[in-house]
Amino acid sequence: AERSLRSGATTREVAMATEPATSEPAVPSLVDRYFTRWYKADVKGKPCEDHCILQHSNRICVITLAESHPVLQSGKTIKSISYQISTNCSRLQNKVSGKFKRGAQFLTELAPLCKIYCSDGEEYTISSCVRGRLMEVNENILHKPSILQEKPSTEGYIAVVLPKFEESKSVTEGLLTQKQYKEVVVKRINATTATS
């Protein structure tokens, strides 16, 4: 039976406060539930410039920055983002229509998607990492670049790419699984601490 204590709390409330909290299993995020994470480390040979590819079961790939990318490290401020790849090529000009996605720009694994300019003068080119048609680019990051750093896997994505149906399984062949990627990051950290 519950008794009221002098402090006004009941014995049950005191018992609940002193018992170790039972940890309930964490509910997977929307991204973890519906997407498989793939990684490309050191894109185009540039150290730590890692990309994350979120592949949905319907073969759509969302291109994002990996957690270890320099843009996501503390102290970095994004000055601007540009989808203008060259004088003749802008990813913003991509116009997709119809069932067969007519008008979509075709991308190779190394095709640049956008350039990120930081306030410290650093410039980063984000690549597609997968072959396919460019379905859309995230124009929201042009107006509010901070969401790229705050929510890189969701609202701060770079672009959406649709691989060819026959290539949807092979598109991830050159990419790392989440476990392999974590091993790469650990090796990188160990190499850094060994040299310092």
58-115 pLDDT, tens digit per residue, is 889 999 999 999 999 878 899 999 998 888 888 888 777 777 777 788 998 899 999 9
Secondary structure of residue 37 in the 3-state scheme: strand
Q: Name the token pair of 138.
A: 């995230």
Pick from 57, 66, 33: nearest CA to 168? 57
DSSP states along 38-90:
EEE-SGGG-TT--EEEEEETTS-EEEEE-TTSGGGSTT--EEEEE-B-SSS-B
Position 16 scores a pLDDT of 46
* Mean pLDDT score, 164-178: 82
Which of the four pLDDT bands, split at 50, 70 and 90, describes residue 52? very high
- Residue 82: closest CA among 123, 44, 45: 123
SS3 state of residue 16: helix
| Cα-Cα-Cα-Cα dihedral sign, residues 144, 150, 155, 156 | positive
From the DSSP assignment, how many helices (H) and strands (E) are in the chain?
Answer: 5, 9
Q: Which residue has the tokens 């005191």?
A: 14
Q: Residue 135: its pLDDT value, please?
A: 92
Segment 28-54 mean pLDDT: 86
Q: What is the mean pLDDT of residues 168-185?
A: 86
pLDDT for res 87: 82
Contact 78, 116 (CB under 8 A): yes
12 pLDDT tier (thresholds 50, 70, 90): very low
Q: Which residues pair with 64 in a beta bridge?
A: 52
Global pTM value: 0.79
